[in-house]
Amino acid sequence: MSGSKCTRLAGPLVKQLLESVDTVLFDCDGVIWRGDQAIPGASQVINLLKERGKKVFFVTNNSTKTRKMYAEKMSAMGFNVTENEVFGTAYCCAAYLKTICKLEGKVYLVGSPAMRHELEAVGIQQTGVGPDHVSGKPIDWANVPLDPDVKAVVVGFDEHFSYTKLNRALQYLLQKDCLFVGTNRDTRLPLEGGKAVPGTGCLLQAVETAAQRQAQTVGKPNHFMFDCLAAQFGVERERCLMVGDRLDTDIMLGSNCGLKTLLTLTGVSTVAEAQKHQESGCAERQGMVPDYYVESIADLLPALQG
Amino acid sequence: MSGSKCTRLAGPLVKQLLESVDTVLFDCDGVIWRGDQAIPGASQVINLLKERGKKVFFVTNNSTKTRKMYAEKMSAMGFNVTENEVFGTAYCCAAYLKTICKLEGKVYLVGSPAMRHELEAVGIQQTGVGPDHVSGKPIDWANVPLDPDVKAVVVGFDEHFSYTKLNRALQYLLQKDCLFVGTNRDTRLPLEGGKAVPGTGCLLQAVETAAQRQAQTVGKPNHFMFDCLAAQFGVERERCLMVGDRLDTDIMLGSNCGLKTLLTLTGVSTVAEAQKHQESGCAERQGMVPDYYVESIADLLPALQG
């Protein structure tokens, strides 16, 4: 437990670290599963942590699932989890609009059915999801009928993103008092075999460029996701560990919130990248250097079983 | 003809300026027309300039029309113009791929029928235009079949822009040797009554964010449009005047190419904005300060008629 960072977590250090924390936050994709495959040993780690009295939470930038959908997916994989332990951006975005913005009005939603569901669950009306194809000419687009009750534009992952949706978002955002919230800025959604598809960050960037305004994002590395769970569960920062596979979102979130941080190498980022940040001498990049790293969260198993 | 900039062009200065140039470049929207309405006096100005022996060209970032479509629109408004005097980004983009990139292969096109037409006119094959709706799941999108002949992704204005097109562009651009060209970076297309719809810059930004690569753009303020017409018509920079309504594209193009510059106030930018750039002391912003300004290009009429 020295002051040095980016230390390989092994041997007696594992037990020492686990004893120093009451709460462990896990990113999901690349950490406890990859696609539809659980990381071997992940469910035992999670379940044993809970048996040992640790609070465990799941924080994910993916906005395409509700808390309930996550809990079901995880239960099917053998994780002992309840939906109120899951903090995805679909839920957190709704919570942000409700508790921080105290939104009175409707949302123009660029997003998924899961986002619609989480908004409705906190009593926020929205304009609907699904395809919205173009028709007419530029002057018709500029004069597209707007719903006068809309007081916020929300952008999450939307496979039906289109020029028409981009234009509607712009027309709402030209109203100065219209709020502008994004779920997250991930530029790509990584998939098996090193493949990737465009992430929410691309869609958000298009809307921001049109509107010449910057959205408030709720996802990692923004502190809101942590604030949200800390407010509900009374987490002590100094006794909290953030575990993730991405330096720019997971580890940065931990740094932003004053948590201990652990990089796992089953996902996107590498130790070499972390070391480059460390050696850069750039203050901002130090937030992307984890305290510790492991090959897989399965490396925590022996200490939990012993 | 002093060294001071941002001078109101009036009185004997008009004749002096016109005598000092052989070639005049005009932006179109906001300069010679607004939407489908010619600026009063604009056609007389253009026609008289040509009668007085000046070469006149039209340079526009709008990629939704071919040279022929522009020439027809302008002829119908009373302008004496031929299509080889028109340099739009649909044409210039095709010319850039052919003459500068010497592209051997097909284009994956995010764009309009006009862009398809201009590409075909220089013998470049492309993948087609129109709607491209989403189906399947992320892993299907990542494995979308790619045309092995595609060697360039080209992004222009496309009202059918969609997540599917964004994804296809990404999958091509993940191939390191795939060229990446955009028509222009205008963030909005301004319309009558202060209205606007999203411009090509928004679509390009989405693709750039996904690909984590920057496109080469051919439109103003990039010098390529000027190079393109100068190569064909032998224009002398010092005896050339650029007339436009936008400081960031038109006036910047003129500055980038060493031309004289004239801002007209019938479009987007104002004298106050030009003065702010001038007073900023910022070197880069000096390129957005025009040499002269007029209320409308009709202000050139008396000197041409006299």
| Residue B27 is labelled as binding a ligand | yes
Residue A306 pLDDT level (bands cut at 50, 70, 90): confident
Average pLDDT score over residue span B244-268? 97
Average pLDDT score over residue span B159-181? 98
Cβ distance of A197 and B143 shorter than 8 Å: no
Would an 8 Å CB–CB cutoff place A166 in contact with chain B? yes
Residue A1 pLDDT level (bands cut at 50, 70, 90): very low
Distance CA B175, CA B153 (A): 11
For an interface test with B, which of A144, A192, A209, A268 has the most B Cβ atoms less than 10 Å from its Cβ? A209
Asked if residue B153 has pLDDT above 90, the reply is yes
DSSP for B135-162, written as a single string: -S-HHHHHT----TTEEEEEE---TT-B
Q: Regarding predicted confidence, which is higher, A147 or B35?
A: A147
Would an 8 Å CB–CB cutoff place A192 in contact with chain B? yes
Catalytic residue status for A250: no
Catalytic residue among A22, A29, A147, A149: A29
Average pLDDT score over residue span B37-51? 97
Q: Collapse the DSSP code of A131 into the 3-class scheme (helix H, G, I; strand E, B; otherwise coil) and give the result.
A: coil
Average pLDDT score over residue span A43-60? 98
Tell me which chain B residues have a C-beta less than 8 angstroms from the C-beta of A212: 187
Cβ distance of B201 and A191 shorter than 8 Å: no
| Residue A276 is labelled as binding a ligand | no
pLDDT of amino acid A3 = 52
Across the interface, which of A160, A187, A197 has its CB nearest the CB of B138? Answer: A197
Residue B168 pLDDT level (bands cut at 50, 70, 90): very high
Distance CA A28, CA A58 (A): 7
Closest by CA to B299, choosing from B34, B41, B47, is B41
Local structure of residue B305 (DSSP, 8 states): H
Distance CA A67, CA A86 (A): 6
Distance CA A69, CA A62 (A): 12
Cβ distance of B196 and A141 shorter than 8 Å: no
Tell me which chain A residues have a C-beta less than 8 angstroms from the C-beta of B159: 134, 163
Interface A–B counts its CB contacts (< 8 A) at 106
Average pLDDT score over residue span A253-275? 97
| Residue B5 is labelled as binding a ligand | no
Asked if residue B145 has pLDDT above 80, the reply is yes
Average pLDDT score over residue span A136-150? 97
Would an 8 Å CB–CB cutoff place A198 in contact with chain B? yes
Rounded to two decimals, the ipTM of the complex is 0.95
A-chain residue closest to B169, CA distance: A198
Kindly report, residue by residue over B178-229, the tens digit of the pLDDT: 999 999 999 999 998 889 999 999 999 999 999 999 999 999 999 999 999 9
Average pLDDT score over residue span A199-227? 97
Would an 8 Å CB–CB cutoff place A142 in contact with chain B? yes
pLDDT of amino acid B289 = 98
Domains and CATH numbers, chain B: 7-61+221-305 (3.40.50.1000), 91-217 (3.40.50.1000)
Asked if residue B2 has pLDDT above 60, the reply is no
Active-site amino acid positions of B: 27, 29
For an interface test with B, which of A37, A144, A159 has the most B Cβ atoms less than 10 Å from its Cβ? A159
**How many Cα atoms within 13 Å fall on the side-chain side of residue A221?**
21
Asked if residue B3 has pLDDT above 60, the reply is no
Computed over every residue of chain A, the mean pLDDT equals 96
Would an 8 Å CB–CB cutoff place B35 in contact with chain A? yes
| Residue A22 is labelled as binding a ligand | no
| A99-108, B32-41, B101-110: segment of lowest average pLDDT | B32-41
Closest by CA to B165, choosing from B137, B204, B201, B119, is B204
Average pLDDT score over residue span B114-118? 98
Residue A238 pLDDT level (bands cut at 50, 70, 90): very high
Residue burial A87-120, b: 16+ Cβ < 10 Å; e: rest: bbbbbbbbbbbeeeeebebbbbbbbbebbbbbbe
Would an 8 Å CB–CB cutoff place A203 in contact with chain B? yes
pLDDT of amino acid B91 = 98
